[in-house]
Amino acid sequence: MTLSSIERKLILIAYVVGFVGILQYLGVTAWLMSFYPGGHLSDRGSVGYDFFRNFLSDLGRTNAFRNGPNPTAPWYAGTLGLAGISTMVFFSALSHYLFHASRNWWAIPLVLMSIVAGIGYIGVAINPINEDYHSHIAYVQIGFIGFWMTCVFGAIAIRNSPVFDNRYAKWIGVFMIILGVQIVIMMFGPRSWSNEYALLLQVTAQKIVVYSEIIVMLGLNVGAFRMLNNSEV
């Protein structure tokens, strides 16, 4: 079954949205770190953003640890919300194409789990940790676990696709291991507030996973672009 020209254009637009949405999160968060007032769990009076002691969610605090208003909060909420939306848009388009190309039924749980992950990211964005701790943590877990499940079904869908290079499934599999370890640390590891070493572990694990996820998403976008351009479907 051949895609119409309109479908191809919409899928292409969705891929662009996914690529830009992830890339803007990387750029904006890096920019916001330079404006963060300061403070973290181990030292509430420290100045500036400590890459290995401040969580990314600290950028979304409406009040920083130093008890002053945090100018990065609305920007972080916006950039994370856009990342969540772009994740759903990209995987919806990818799932549509995979199903359309070969009736790949694994594309259905793939898109459903990507929606769960996107909702998790948006939930984190609109529930700053200093205002609603329990909701914030719940959405963090929903986002990470949802994206892990997205990777599970994404790897299976790609492995069963005659149009997508299987090496992308291998890359996703490697990331699944990294994300799985981080989820275990996040849920069962030492609490970040217990001591400085626990904080360092939790923050470092989060950063490794987030930046690895960005690489995976950008790589998948490149693969999806190639698939669309090289396929006659």
Compute the C-alpha angle 75/76/81, nearest 5°.
100
Lowest mean pLDDT among 64-73, 168-177, 183-192, 223-232: 223-232
Single pTM value for the model: 0.90
Is the predicted pLDDT of residue 226 greater than 90, yes or no?
A: no
Per-residue model confidence (pLDDT) at position 233: 55
Span 207-222, average pLDDT: 90
**What are the sequence ranges of the domains in the chain?**
5-230
Is the predicted pLDDT of residue 61 greater than 70, yes or no?
A: yes
Mean model confidence pLDDT for the chain: 90
How far does Cα 49 stand from its chain's mean position?
Answer: 21
Is the predicted pLDDT of residue 1 greater than 70, yes or no?
A: no
Which one has a higher pLDDT value, 142 or 191? 142
Contact at 8 Å (CB) between 202 and 185? yes
Ramachandran sector of residue 67 (left: φ over 0; alpha: ψ -120 to 50; beta: rest): left
Lowest mean pLDDT among 5-19, 23-37, 128-142: 5-19
137's CB contacts (< 8 A; 6+ apart) are 129
Is the predicted pLDDT of residue 117 greater than 90, yes or no?
A: yes
- pLDDT-based confidence at residue 7 (cuts at 50, 70, 90): confident
